[in-house]
Structure 1
């Protein structure tokens, strides 16, 4: 018998943790468990504690048994890993309170479930490295990915875009290999790998970034930035571990829920809350999982459809999530009708996404990161709502909704010309995110400022279609209203807004207004609100955003659409006593009619009697 096999046969963990009296006497009744509990919750038969947590399962002494044991840990605002002991937290880590996006954060006041511990920013599971906060393939080789568990899945995951963190690690500097990005470059991460093997810190990018700015940028400052970036990116447990009070603290799931995709209540910067809710301004779950809160959930989520039902696993296996969901998988008739309609060059989100929230402005400037000075503080908490979304043609000529977001980066040392045309970050069309560089400009402080517009593709939340007039006008108009909520830069929050006009001449962001700003001691406006000095710079004049409309044709189809709406309202009222087969057939017909007016006006009369009721 090998040493590893012998070591794995120990069961002292459960001898202790299943002893109710002993656990109570030690002051840890919340950690009482049994083999039956663990197998039921994990859905893994014959699982041992050390299979997931490591440690020494044969040791009878607590300290020896727990040596090298893997546990969830907390991320502090200082960018350090905190243990339960550090914050004196003895409760089981389970959802608490009604602030759902923070429900897993430890509470500070037993009487108030939404009173979260002030030192804790996020919760990370135990497949993460405690220094860099990266997903650790070395840890997982010993746990989830060991030979008798899920080695093939780990091997697959380590080669995917998600597992290798390919997109973030590709961004070397503010300008290379493509233009600036809302998230910034990969400040101190390891280079791109075809298969994830190495994690930690690497300073090749740091040294390149140092040459782009006129402020010092140390390795320690780069590490502080990188740690918080790494919090966002997923590992095995981020998807498949969902502890809750009903199914237990060891609850594992084969199929991740939408809550897992949204970080499962571990803060606003884990998994998709960062990229989806803050950057793109979208939501799927709605409510607390939107910023500002209260956004309407996606219509599919309301019907119990989860992210992974549409964004399923691709050819590369575990972690290869299909980015582009195909509506035709469910809406066959609608897709076919749409493909033959006058709106065939619009993607579905163009009509069905009505507002976008999250960041409305971004300023990169001097401030504090991990409670230490840093030239790259991201002043992003200009939280607000922009509606209706501006529509733009992608490089294949398909209209899509976008989130228009002004960005400035201070203390840039190089002269950068305008990009001339809208640029897409990925030539292979794997994303449709775009940007436009306005160039570098100077003001009273912080040297040159690099200005660009992020033009983020929006795909959620789906709802009722927007009004025809919001598209078919001389120009597209969008208003963004926001509140500055960052705890740096000002003595108190302030509010503001801007307008976006898009037409055949291009796109312009204008009419910036704001309430009084009380600058905090040690800060300048250029640090956190440099856009104030560049209100006339946000112009793209190389693209045509005009949605061409022939008035006669528009009036014709608007009348047809109104006619269809009236017929459908009458038919809807007659569904009450119809059988399931008839109702299903009608819903298919209804979908066709709403997405192809020419077909709709031919079909609806065939299924209506003389009184307008469904046959």
Structure 2
């Protein structure tokens, strides 16, 4: 007999179910606490007691309070009526699969995909390769976004205040991304993540030259929604069962969300893993989350400093409301680095943010283009061709709205088949500096034009994505990385590898230049022949092949010139001397 089953049988013999509080009409416990019955049903892996659940969840909730269903049902089908189930997001159509499972979750070693489901093949249990992500049962099955009806019936029953606060929070309302209602939104501009497709079909179609297939459009929105959170994404923390530690298991919960939960907690590269390690390219975890894989993590990972240790939330400030996390974390630096912060304010480099010096090797997207293709097996006008993955050795520094130098990774972007554009060329900011911290970001973008000249998919609305980077903090960059050029010119050569649909994998490169005349992406090229896949056009995913060097923004993007190069050459690299002279912080 299976040793797990043996344990349960022995437990049942020594301690009757009634001793655990089982009532005659609770069919959930009548079955799931009975290992013999679960074995008969072929679901012995789902044998669990109320005591197990309470030890792992730290909550007295019953099965039906969390999973709904019908605890008065006499049969399996009756008891499972209305049950809220784990959602397996299938590759084809990004559809929600909630069919009953015969096997529990499995746990691997890859942090990005450590939690997975299995399927049977040739009599063996293998990872289900047709599942691209997992969503918990507080998500809607039609579009994969938060299911507030289920949330209110489950978590909200015992935690009404937290539910109400979360439902109004930035994360609960998807408040940032929903503001991008089209590619030509005058207030926010076009964005790397695309538009908020839900409810904006007519507006987006009106400015799109080609017909937008409804099936692909719906899948576009589902792809967005896999990143947006419910209660369980933050507080549910399932793990392999550990006999030595009864509080660890499939029903483990945490009061304070783990840093891993901010990155999808092993269910896929979702949530903040996308905007941090892929889009910005300077993520907290790096490693298996980074593209290319293996980029170094933030120094705070090794120091066991978590997301909510720096980003203020209800953990330290109840007035924020549940689910609200303060994006700006600069107030946290003095708690651990008071001497450095105090001396930095008085140093020559006082107008530089901490990140400006302490972030290097920026990975992730080095180009992204939205063109026609297939998503989840359906035709779409807007497939995000994003796998131009590479590393910029040091970020470009620009001044933010308050005159502070911040690190950014400018990269070229375009969306195809656009009719017109309301934008004026130049650097722009997503959110004005006058907004409170909870309502803004420090991200910029730069419009570079509406261009023809493509053999198909005209016209291309083009811009530079210029997000501020805040993570992957580590050893400071060298003095020469900023000051070697006497004119303050910044130059970064970037190599990348393309691996998305449309063509066989190929390598390429470009150069980013920031000087007194402007900010430029120059010399975008493939370093080997591009072999197209059937049904794809080059202009859909590589408009740079035809548009060449149109990604240019006028303005002074140079770094300040040195006033005393002789003294600089004498003291650069001499850290004690630089600190003593007030050049850098102590």
With normalisation by structure 2, the TM-score equals: 0.88
Secondary structure, aligned partner of 1:471:
helix
1:38 aligned residue (40, 50, 53): 53
Q: Which residue of 2 aligns with 1:433?
A: 443
Q: Deviations over 1:367-407 (max 9, x none)?
A: 01221111111111111211211111111110010011101
**Contact 2:426–2:448 under 8 Å retained in 1:** no
CA distance 1:450–1:561, shift in 2 (3 Å): same
CA distance 1:598–1:216, shift in 2 (3 Å): closer
CA distance in 2, matches of 1:187, 1:365: 15
Q: 1:333 aligned to 2:339?
A: yes
Q: Give the C-alpha shift of residue 459 in structure 1.
A: 0.7
2:493 aligned residue (479, 496, 501): 479
CA distance 1:469–1:107, shift in 2 (3 Å): farther
- What aligned pairs does 1:125-140 form with structure 2 within 5 A after superposition? 125-140=136-151
Q: 1:223 aligned to 2:236?
A: no
**Contact 1:338–1:595 under 8 Å retained in 2:** no
Q: 1:505 aligned to 2:517?
A: yes
2:411 aligned residue (383, 401, 405): 405
Q: Give the C-alpha shift of residue 29 in structure 1.
A: 1.7
CA distance in 1, matches of 2:506, 2:350: 43
CA distance in 2, matches of 1:8, 1:67: 20
**Contact 1:54–1:70 under 8 Å retained in 2:** yes
Q: Deviations over 1:266-297 (max 9, x none)?
A: 112x2112211111112212211211110111
**Contact 1:179–1:425 under 8 Å retained in 2:** yes
Q: Which residue of 2 aligns with 1:607?
A: none
CA distance 1:401–1:291, shift in 2 (3 Å): same
Q: Which residue of 1 aligns with 2:351?
A: 345
Q: 1:120 aligned to 2:134?
A: no
Q: 1:318 aligned to 2:322?
A: yes
Which ranges in structure 1 are unaligned for 5 or more consecutive residues?
A: 1-6, 189-201, 568-591, 601-615
Q: 1:61 aligned to 2:75?
A: yes
Q: Give the C-alpha shift of residue 513 in structure 1.
A: 2.3
**Contact 1:133–1:231 under 8 Å retained in 2:** yes
Q: 1:283 aligned to 2:280?
A: no
CA distance in 2, matches of 1:359, 1:164: 27
Q: Give the C-alpha shift of residue 169 in structure 1.
A: 1.1
Q: Give the C-alpha shift of residue 90 in structure 1.
A: 2.6
Q: Give the C-alpha shift of residue 152 in structure 1.
A: 0.3
Q: Which residue of 2 aligns with 1:610?
A: none
Q: Give the C-alpha shift of residue 107 in structure 1.
A: 3.9
Q: Which residue of 1 aligns with 2:398?
A: 392
**Contact 2:191–2:465 under 8 Å retained in 1:** yes
Indicate the larger mover: 336-345 or 439-448: 439-448
Q: Which residue of 2 aligns with 1:570?
A: none
Q: Which runs of 4+ in 1 moved over 6 A?
A: none
Q: Give the C-alpha shift of residue 530 in structure 1.
A: 1.0
Q: Deviations over 1:69-115 (max 9, x none)?
A: 11111111212111354xxx53211422x22211112245799x996
Indicate the larger mover: 7-16 or 389-398: 7-16
Q: Deviations over 1:93-149 (max 9, x none)?
A: 1422x22211112245799x9964221111000110110111121111100011xx1
Q: Which residue of 2 aligns with 1:95?
A: 107
CA distance 1:598–1:328, shift in 2 (3 Å): closer
Q: Give the C-alpha shift of residue 39 in structure 1.
A: 0.4
Q: Which residue of 2 aligns with 1:167?
A: 176
Q: Give the C-alpha shift of residue 9 in structure 1.
A: 9.3
Secondary structure, aligned partner of 1:23:
helix
Root mean square deviation of aligned Cα:
2.3
CA distance in 2, matches of 1:537, 1:337: 42
Secondary structure, aligned partner of 2:507:
strand
Q: Which residue of 2 aligns with 1:72?
A: 86
CA distance in 1, matches of 2:120, 2:114: 14
CA distance in 2, matches of 1:312, 1:561: 37
CA distance in 2, matches of 1:483, 1:114: 34
**Contact 1:364–1:409 under 8 Å retained in 2:** yes
Name the structure, 1 or 2, with higher relative contact order (CA <8 Å, separation 6+).
2
- What aligned pairs does 1:531-550 form with structure 2 within 5 A after superposition? 531-541=544-554, 543-550=555-562
Q: How many residues align?
A: 540
Q: Deviations over 1:447-488 (max 9, x none)?
A: 2111110101111100100001111123111122111111x2
CA distance in 1, matches of 2:297, 2:260: 12
CA distance 1:365–1:15, shift in 2 (3 Å): same
1:212 aligned residue (207, 210, 222): 207
Q: Give the C-alpha shift of residue 166 in structure 1.
A: 0.8
1:360 aligned residue (358, 362, 366): 366
Q: Which residue of 2 aligns with 1:520?
A: 533
Secondary structure, aligned partner of 1:267:
coil
Q: Give the C-alpha shift of residue 25 in structure 1.
A: 2.4
Q: Which residue of 1 aligns with 2:32?
A: 17
1:420 aligned residue (406, 416, 425): 425
CA distance 1:334–1:8, shift in 2 (3 Å): farther
With normalisation by structure 1, the TM-score equals: 0.84
Secondary structure, aligned partner of 1:508:
strand
CA distance in 2, matches of 1:396, 1:377: 36
CA distance in 2, matches of 1:110, 1:311: 45
**Contact 2:523–2:549 under 8 Å retained in 1:** no
- What aligned pairs does 1:545-564 form with structure 2 within 5 A after superposition? 545-552=557-564, 554-556=565-567, 559-560=570-571, 562-564=573-575
Q: Which residue of 2 aligns with 1:496?
A: 508
CA distance in 1, matches of 2:196, 2:338: 41
Q: Which residue of 2 aligns with 1:450?
A: 461
Q: Give the C-alpha shift of residue 257 in structure 1.
A: 1.2
**Contact 1:328–1:335 under 8 Å retained in 2:** yes
Q: Give the C-alpha shift of residue 170 in structure 1.
A: 1.1
CA distance in 2, matches of 1:378, 1:14: 46
